[in-house]
Amino acid sequence: MEKIKIGILGATGIVGQNYIKLLQDHPWFQIVDIAASPKSAGKSYFEAVKSKWQMSIPIPAELRKLIVRDVQDFNSIPDDLSFVFSAITMPTKDQVKEVEFKYAKNGIPVISNNSAHRWTPDIPMIIGEINHEHVNIIPVQRENHGYRNGFIVVKPNCTLQSYLTPIFALEKAGYKVDKLIITTLGAVSGAGYPGVASLDIVDNIIPYIGGGEEEKTELEPSKILGSVGGKKIINNDSIHISVTCTRVPVIDGHTACVNVNFKDKIPSKDEIIKIWTEFKSLPQELELPFAPKQPIIYLENEDRPQPRKDRDNDKGMAVTIGRLRKDSVFHYKFVALSHNTVRGAAGGLILNAELLKSQGYIN
């Protein structure tokens, strides 16, 4: 099969580098265009990124000589480009919005890691196993904005992806959730590069993450759990969520300590574990390349999950859970873990692109 030609916006940053690492030997997608700021434009990718390459693999040989395009040079977009992954950073969200809008206007679908468009009413914010049907808003989005072939799809905040899929699985099984109290232990890679200063994080826990991390983690589930209606996505505010986000001295892997209270029916512990271990969704049914075979993994060990031991489960795309037990205030509590730079960032967007291809929106 001839591979689909794709581009990466913000290819010199950490998320852009992660796309390059994860897309090596992808069966469907081939990187043919990389774009970044004017500072990097005109240089070979090797020259633009060599001093700040942070991945565990060398810069791929086929990309080293590729010339970096100015991300705002719309006239030099390759004619055969099918879509772009967006990991651009700019001084304001409005600037990010404008650039992504312009790519969509130019007929290029944008699959974005950015938060700028998460609350745009006709742009879906997708976790493949939860709200894959939200891709059905794309024809409406095209009509609303006058796009012919372009569109924008985004992913949610990486922190909430450590707990939302297991909560959704319980709701889908008929056990409606009323309240969640969550404390997250965020890895330092979530702050980007160079991220948190070593004198701040070594031998320490920082009980605050800026950029509205707690608000994103509390509010974004309402859109993800919502439904497509009319010309927008209608939010679902049925679950009340309170979150405290902290930063801990772990490189990769966001952990969440979750207390859950149900509305009516209360499942047994064995029922919950059975629901989680049997949970599958459309990405698994379609056997998409980046889909985890088992999206939720439950470990019986009393001291798991642990980031160093469990963040890479199933290509780094699974949510790993442990310590499910009765709670003295709410009904249950458990600990969940996901890989923030794989499932929570580039890997999750690659899965979204595979989903969009399978549904006929990318060709």
Identity of the amino acid at 184: T
The dihedral sign for the CA sequence 358, 69, 123, 171: positive
Whether 158 sits among the annotated catalytic residues: the reply is yes
Cβ pair 327, 309 in contact under 8 A: no
Q: Read off the tokens for 93.
A: 């969200």
Coil, helix or strand at residue 167: helix
Q: How far is CA 348 from CA 82, 119, 274, 363, in A?
A: 19, 18, 25, 19
**Of the residues 117, 132, 134, 254, which is catalytic?**
254
Which residues fall within 8 angstroms of residue 361, CB to CB, at 6 or more apart?
Answer: 109, 135, 138, 151
Number of H helices, E strands in the chain: 14, 14
Please give the Cα distance from 25 to 20 (Å, whole number).
10
Q: For residue 26, indicate whether it is catalytic.
A: no
CA–CA separation, 337 and 191 (whole Å) = 17
Question: Which of 195, 301, 293 lies closest to 252, judged by CA?
Answer: 195
Which residue of the set 117, 132, 134, 158 is catalytic?
A: 158
In whole angstroms, what is the distance from residue 344 CA to residue 162 CA?
8
Q: 31 near 63, Cβ under 8 Å?
A: yes
Tokens of 303: 């001291």
State the catalytic residues. 158, 254
